[in-house]
Chain A
Amino acid sequence: MKILYVEDNKINAVVMDKMLSKNACDVITVANASTALQEVSADSFDLILVDINLGINQMDGCELLKRFRLMDPLKTKPIYAVTAYALPGDEAHFLEKGFDQYFSKPVDFERLLSAIETIAE
């Protein structure tokens, strides 16, 4: 299972990477949208996890999703939102934007891992 994780917060990126790697995932983390776009054009992933707030001056997760979906191989690839935006309405909002699933921070790993298992099958 090859996963691309787009996350600007260094600590979150590192610890999520560790957690997923422990569960037999091959994770590549990138800190911003432009690096993410380079990665997906160079390599293919089974799942993409995208943080929404990617820092000041930076393209946000929603915009990045739009770009991804314009790329042929990513049209139907599972792309999940992993974000600290977790107020009522946020989930519906991001799903409407086109994310296949939504995970609020702190991440519920059991749910994330079971979703990953479903993809693997």
Chain B
Amino acid sequence: MPLASEKFRLIPEKTSLFLLVLKTNGKVLYYNNAFECFLSNIELSEESNIKNWIVDEDKSILQDVIQNLKLNKASQTVILRLWVSNGVLNYIKFDFSLAEGLIQATGMDITEESKEQQALCSLSKLTNTGAWFYDVEKKQLYWSTKCFTIHETTSDENITLERAFKFFKEDRRSTIKQHFDELLKLQQEYEYVEKIHTDKGNEKSIRVIAKPVVQNNKVVYVNGAIADVTEQQNYLEQLKKSEETKHLALKGIRSGLFDHNVSDSKIRYSNSFKKMLGLSLKHDYVTEDSFLERIHPDDLEEAIVRHHQNLQKDDKHYYNYYRIKHHNGEYRHYDVYGYKKLDASNNVTRIVGNLIDVQDKKEREQLITEQSGWLRAMINHGFDYAILLDTKGKILMADKNTVEIIKKDFNINPLVAPTLFIDVMPVNFKVPFAHEFNEALKGNVTKKQIERIADDGQMQWLQVSYAPICDQKKVVRSVLITFQNITDLKIAEYKIKEAHFKEQELSNLKSNLLSVFSHEIRTPLNGIITISKLLLDEHSMEERDKLVDYLDESKDRLLETLNNLSNYSEIETIQSTLKLEPTDINFEVESCFRNLKHQAQSKRLSYELHLSNTTPIAIIDKEVLSTALHNIIHNAIKYTEKGTIDIEVIDIAKKDLVHINIKDTGIGIDKKNLKKIFDPFVQESVGLSRKYEGTGIGLSLAKRFIEVLKGTITVKSHINKGTNFQIVIPKHL
């Protein structure tokens, strides 16, 4: 310190300013008493450097100052923060100058002022507040930096009152100007919140405060502040909105807020609810009793029971439901939700909650119950099987029968466990199902018949219908599949077809029968008539004899046809009037053989008979057998021009049968005609494809007669080699 005193001629000690002499590297050569006091107990030493006391952040400022001084710059004024052992951060305003290679520093402690300023800065920052004032005399407006920041405009602009007003919304400007005019005239301070558009185009809400300074009863000066309250304002608006939402929501659900004071039996309701019920708005509350009157009498008893249960249970929640009478006399369903408030001894003192109108829900529920009832009825009684599927093919509902089948076959109850129909349907049903189901999803109704083997092994026909079930918007929500057992119907249909076919057959038969008989009669008749005409003019005896022979032959043929015809028409009668008696077949065959012998002999045929060695006796009708035999032997002779007719009787005693074989060496019958010879009338049809080749009706009659005797007749034949008829007669019918 003495060193420094010598070097500096005038360093006043009695000042509150700090005086220091430093080397250009910051080493402290001298400081005055004031600074010594400031440093308190720190001793100056060789090592003392001002940098040791400056906070790190500000060290570079000092460095810059020294650099500038070295470059012959004038004195430099800066504020540096110093940290010394008293534990306080000090703001020192230094004035540095360079003289003779040493730095002179004059410092002033401005800690208190700085702190205030800092606090104001922080406050301004925190509250987004800017200050302004208006000089009425000069008509000049001044804005703090923060004002510019809030308006998001450049701070070097000269702000005017006009310009400031332009930030406000156009429709509000005149009002705001009016406020300002009134302030000047009436010396009224004001405060308002308005919206501005910043230079960056943002919308902000600002709070403006203005206060006049009056001198000689005249406003000379206006002090003011603005604050950015956008967030606050937004929050308020949201709050308002959500409040509105709540109101709307409450209105929407036709609900009533209530506050039930259990101790004094008074219930308070929201006004809207009171209006709805037609309660007086004059009174703040209704009594429990008058409220109970509004509950539907059918619901009252149970509602009270539930109310008391609610009061007693431990749970805080309250739940009840009943119908309430409205001002128009209509009852509507309400659900009541609330919270219970308990006192110290756990008694319920208040219930606060909400009454919610669930009338629509109840109505829908009832409709759904009704509809599902109808559907169930339809399913259980209208069809044999019925299944309701959702659009994914899951079974929603099924009739009892179907459920039983699925339970039995798959051990699943489709009404309990979610089940896809495709997983539980008969295998042969899967392919048509996919197609029909898709059609139904498109909204089309389809019907299909399927066949299946039922459990009893019988064929079953089902009519399957797929009906889409749509909602009000015509969107398919589910598909109803119904199965109707139409087996009886199908069988009836087949029977009708069969009957129709038989009728047709019968009609064909009748027409063929007529055609054959007509032909068989007209052929000999033609002979008879022609011969008769010839006889009239024939004088040669020889020729006449010939003609008479022809006439005889034609007559025989005509008679035979007529006999056959009558036999044919009498088959039914014969069957019921059979004269059954033990008959020697040998004897009957021999009789027939003899009756036709002359015919065979006239054609010079070898005509042979081989009877059985035994005496085969069968219980038959003689007439019937002999007619059949006659026709077959007659036929054999007719179609054989040369060779042998061989007739044989064989007793098959073991089987109680008799065989009669008639063999000829005639023209034979080709295969396609073999069937026809017994059934000349059952031709394909009368018409174009008909073949006009007759066999007569003798064989067919023979067959029918043998059948009357429970026998059979079979034929084997080779064209041009001969035919072999075999008759088998059972000895006992």
Residue B518 contacts which of A12, A15, A86 (CB distance < 8 angstroms)?
A86
Interface string of A59-101 (1 = CB under 8 A from B): 0111000000000000000000001111100000100000000
Instruction: Check: A119 CB closer than 8 A to any chain B CB.
Output: no
Q: B491-535: which have CB < 8 Å to A? A: 511, 514-515, 518-531, 533-534
- Contact across chains for B525 and A15 when beta carbons are under 8 A apart: no
**Residues in chain A near residue B521, CB distance under 8 A:** 84
Known: A11-B550, A11-B554. A56 touches B693 (CB 8 A): yes
- Contact across chains for B523 and A105 when beta carbons are under 8 A apart: yes
Instruction: Check: B553 CB closer than 8 A to any chain A CB.
Output: yes
Q: B658-716: which have CB < 8 Å to A? A: 667-670, 673, 677, 687, 691-695
- Contact across chains for A55 and B530 when beta carbons are under 8 A apart: no
Bound Cα distance from A86 to B553, whole angstroms: 22
Bound Cα distance from A104 to B695, whole angstroms: 20
Known: A11-B554, A15-B527. A85 touches B515 (CB 8 A): yes
**Residues in chain A near residue B527, CB distance under 8 A:** 9, 11-12, 15
- Contact across chains for A19 and B530 when beta carbons are under 8 A apart: yes
Interface string of A1-44 (1 = CB under 8 A from B): 00000000101101110110010000000000000000000000
- Contact across chains for B522 and A106 when beta carbons are under 8 A apart: yes
**Residues in chain B near residue A87, CB distance under 8 A:** 511, 514-515, 518
Q: B540-560: which have CB < 8 Å to A? A: 547, 550, 553-554
Residue B523 contacts which of A14, A84, A109 (CB distance < 8 angstroms)?
A84
- Contact across chains for B529 and A85 when beta carbons are under 8 A apart: no
Instruction: Check: A48 CB closer than 8 A to any chain B CB.
Output: no
- Contact across chains for A12 and B526 when beta carbons are under 8 A apart: yes
- Contact across chains for B550 and A14 when beta carbons are under 8 A apart: yes
Bound Cα distance from A37 to B598, whole angstroms: 35
- Contact across chains for A105 and B550 when beta carbons are under 8 A apart: no
| A104 CB to nearest B CB, Å | 7
Known: A11-B553, A15-B534, A19-B533. A57 touches B719 (CB 8 A): yes
Instruction: Check: B639 CB closer than 8 A to any chain A CB.
Output: yes
Known: A15-B530, A15-B550, A19-B533. A9 touches B692 (CB 8 A): no
Residue B695 contacts which of A16, A56, A105 (CB distance < 8 angstroms)?
A56
Residue B522 contacts which of A57, A58, A105 (CB distance < 8 angstroms)?
A105
Query: Which chain B residue lies CB-closest to A22?
Result: B537
Max chain B Cβ within 10 angstroms of own Cβ: one of A9, A57, A93? A57
| A3 CB to nearest B CB, Å | 15
Residue A62 contacts which of B515, B519, B673, B692 (CB distance < 8 angstroms)?
B692
Instruction: Check: A52 CB closer than 8 A to any chain B CB.
Output: yes
Bound Cα distance from A83 to B719, whole angstroms: 26
Do most interface residues of chain B lie in helix, strand or loop, or is the interface mixed? Answer: helix
Bound Cα distance from A107 to B692, whole angstroms: 19
Bound Cα distance from A104 to B677, whole angstroms: 25
Bound Cα distance from A74 to B677, whole angstroms: 34
**Residues in chain A near residue B531, CB distance under 8 A:** 11, 15
Number of CB contacts from chain A to chain B under 8 A:
93
**Residues in chain A near residue B524, CB distance under 8 A:** 11
Residue A56 contacts which of B520, B554, B639 (CB distance < 8 angstroms)?
B639
Bound Cα distance from A25 to B526, whole angstroms: 20
Known: A12-B527, A15-B527, A15-B534. A56 touches B673 (CB 8 A): yes
**Residues in chain A near residue B677, CB distance under 8 A:** 56
Known: A15-B530, A61-B692. A106 touches B525 (CB 8 A): yes
Bound Cα distance from A34 to B156, whole angstroms: 137
Instruction: Check: A54 CB closer than 8 A to any chain B CB.
Output: yes
- Contact across chains for B692 and A105 when beta carbons are under 8 A apart: no
Residue B529 contacts which of A60, A62, A106 (CB distance < 8 angstroms)?
A106
**Residues in chain B near residue A84, CB distance under 8 A:** 518-523, 526
**Residues in chain A near residue B673, CB distance under 8 A:** 56-57
**Residues in chain B near residue A14, CB distance under 8 A:** 550
- Contact across chains for A56 and B692 when beta carbons are under 8 A apart: no
| A71 CB to nearest B CB, Å | 21
- Contact across chains for B693 and A19 when beta carbons are under 8 A apart: no
| A103 CB to nearest B CB, Å | 10
Bound Cα distance from A104 to B522, whole angstroms: 9
- Contact across chains for B526 and A56 when beta carbons are under 8 A apart: no
- Contact across chains for B526 and A107 when beta carbons are under 8 A apart: yes
Query: Which chain A residue lies CB-closest to B546?
Result: A14
| A41 CB to nearest B CB, Å | 23
**Residues in chain B near residue A18, CB distance under 8 A:** 530, 534
| B70 CB to nearest A CB, Å | 144
| B333 CB to nearest A CB, Å | 84
Known: A11-B527, A106-B525. A58 touches B693 (CB 8 A): yes
Interface string of B593-621 (1 = CB under 8 A from A): 00000000000000000000000000000
- Contact across chains for A19 and B534 when beta carbons are under 8 A apart: yes
Query: Which chain A residue lies CB-closest to B549?
Result: A11
Residue A9 contacts which of B523, B529, B693, B719 (CB distance < 8 angstroms)?
B523
- Contact across chains for A85 and B692 when beta carbons are under 8 A apart: yes
| A109 CB to nearest B CB, Å | 7
| A98 CB to nearest B CB, Å | 13
- Contact across chains for A56 and B669 when beta carbons are under 8 A apart: yes
| B524 CB to nearest A CB, Å | 8
**Residues in chain A near residue B668, CB distance under 8 A:** 57
**Residues in chain B near residue A16, CB distance under 8 A:** 530
- Contact across chains for A53 and B694 when beta carbons are under 8 A apart: yes
**Residues in chain A near residue B515, CB distance under 8 A:** 85, 87
| B680 CB to nearest A CB, Å | 10
Query: Which chain B residue lies CB-closest to A96?
Result: B688
Interface string of B313-329 (1 = CB under 8 A from A): 00000000000000000
Bound Cα distance from A84 to B694, whole angstroms: 11
Max chain B Cβ within 10 angstroms of own Cβ: one of A16, A56, A86, A104? A56
- Contact across chains for B693 and A86 when beta carbons are under 8 A apart: no
Query: Which chain A residue lies CB-closest to B524?
Result: A11
| A25 CB to nearest B CB, Å | 14
**Residues in chain A near residue B694, CB distance under 8 A:** 53, 55-56
Query: Which chain B residue lies CB-closest to A94?
Result: B692
**Residues in chain A near residue B518, CB distance under 8 A:** 84-87
| B222 CB to nearest A CB, Å | 129
**Residues in chain B near residue A60, CB distance under 8 A:** 691-693
| B687 CB to nearest A CB, Å | 8
Bound Cα distance from A84 to B516, whole angstroms: 9
Known: A15-B527, A22-B537, A106-B530. A53 touches B522 (CB 8 A): no
**Residues in chain A near residue B639, CB distance under 8 A:** 56
**Residues in chain A near residue B530, CB distance under 8 A:** 12, 15-16, 18-19, 106-107, 109
- Contact across chains for A106 and B526 when beta carbons are under 8 A apart: yes
Query: Which chain A residue lies CB-closest to B720?
Result: A57
- Contact across chains for A86 and B522 when beta carbons are under 8 A apart: yes
**Residues in chain B near residue A105, CB distance under 8 A:** 522-523, 525-526
Bound Cα distance from A65 to B74, whole angstroms: 151
A-B contact pairs, 22 of them (CB 8 A): A9-B523, A9-B527, A11-B527, A11-B553, A12-B530, A14-B550, A15-B530, A19-B530, A22-B537, A52-B692, A53-B692, A56-B669, A57-B719, A60-B691, A60-B693, A83-B519, A83-B692, A84-B518, A84-B519, A84-B526, A104-B522, A106-B525
3 closest Cβ contacts across the A-B interface?
A84-B522, A105-B526, A60-B692
Since A19-B534, A107-B530 are in contact, a sample of 18 more A-B pairs with Cβ atoms closer than 8 Å, ordered by chain A residue number, is A12-B530, A18-B534, A19-B530, A55-B694, A56-B667, A56-B693, A56-B695, A57-B669, A57-B670, A57-B673, A83-B692, A84-B519, A84-B521, A84-B523, A84-B526, A86-B519, A87-B518, A105-B522
